[in-house]
């Protein structure tokens, strides 16, 4: 059975620079999340988790009959995240260019619960807790730029119709219109070490980053 069903999905995502090899970066991400608060639990065995890391590292061909075709490096890992209650999520890792890895957390985003799928919904009052989650992720990962939005990922900031991986996924190619919070995203956090978006309406830079709601995580 599919881990997450229905929709819409609330996506919390960010970019990391690929300073290490893919395997080491994925290991670092998973190790960090294993000691994270809010708690992140992997809904896999250790063996399955290692297979997911290898899947991301090795990748797969766009056309398995053409060894010169594009190679996709991605994996999806079923997890639980304790944000105002323990809820299902999918952790996605994608290499979108030679320089950047996109990390996505997908949550069932309907305001109504779906007990038949064991999925909790997200009310308007709960949304600040998910925005806080992006803040906490920044504190631990020092990411390049991160977003919160329904059915949109950080990769939707870029002006391109090309599928990833592609070098058009670079910081000079960010769509300034998409940066207007409430147009597409409910929160954007930009790291001024990598991209200067100071003064862009609705975008928090690292110096402006603030807690958007009171923490409400289980101990």
- In 96-142, the DSSP E strands lie at 100-108
Residue 75, SS3 per DSSP: strand
Determine the Cα–Cα distance for residues 149 and 147; give it in Å rounded to an integer. 7
b/e 113-122 (16+ beta carbons within 10 angstroms → b): eeeeeebbbb
pLDDT tens readout for residues 87-146: 999 999 999 999 999 999 999 999 999 999 999 999 999 999 999 999 999 999 999 999
* Residue 24 pLDDT greater than 60, yes or no: yes
The model's pTM: 0.89
How many Cβ atoms are within 10 Å of 158's Cβ, its own excluded? 22
What are the residue ranges spanned by the domains of the chain? 9-57+70-205
Token digits for 145? 């730029």
């Amino acid at each position: 059975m599919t881990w997450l069903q229905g929709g819409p999905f609330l996506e919390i995502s960010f970019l990391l620079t690929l300073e290490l090899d893919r395997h080491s970066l994925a290991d670092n991400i998973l190790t960090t999340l294993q000691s994270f608060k809010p708690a992140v639990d992997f809904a896999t065995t250790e063996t399955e988790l290692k297979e997911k890391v290898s899947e991301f590292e090795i990748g797969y061909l766009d056309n398995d009959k053409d060894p010169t075709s594009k190679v996709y490096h991605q994996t999806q890992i079923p997890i639980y995240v304790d944000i105002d209650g323990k809820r299902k999520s999918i952790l996605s890792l994608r290499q979108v260019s030679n320089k950047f890895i996109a990390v996505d957390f997908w949550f069932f985003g309907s305001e109504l619960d779906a007990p038949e799928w064991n999925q909790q919904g997200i009310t308007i009052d709960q949304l600040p807790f998910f925005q806080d989650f992006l803040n906490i992720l920044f504190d631990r990962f020092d990411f390049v730029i991160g977003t919160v939005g329904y059915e949109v990922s950080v990769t939707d900031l870029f002006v391109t119709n090309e599928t990833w991986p592609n070098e058009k996924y670079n910081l000079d190619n960010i769509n300034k219109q998409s940066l207007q919070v409430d147009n597409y995203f409910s929160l954007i956090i930009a790291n001024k070490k990598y991209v200067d978006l100071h003064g862009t309406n609705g975008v928090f830079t690292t110096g402006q980053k603030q807690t958007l709601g009171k923490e409400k995580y289980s101990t």
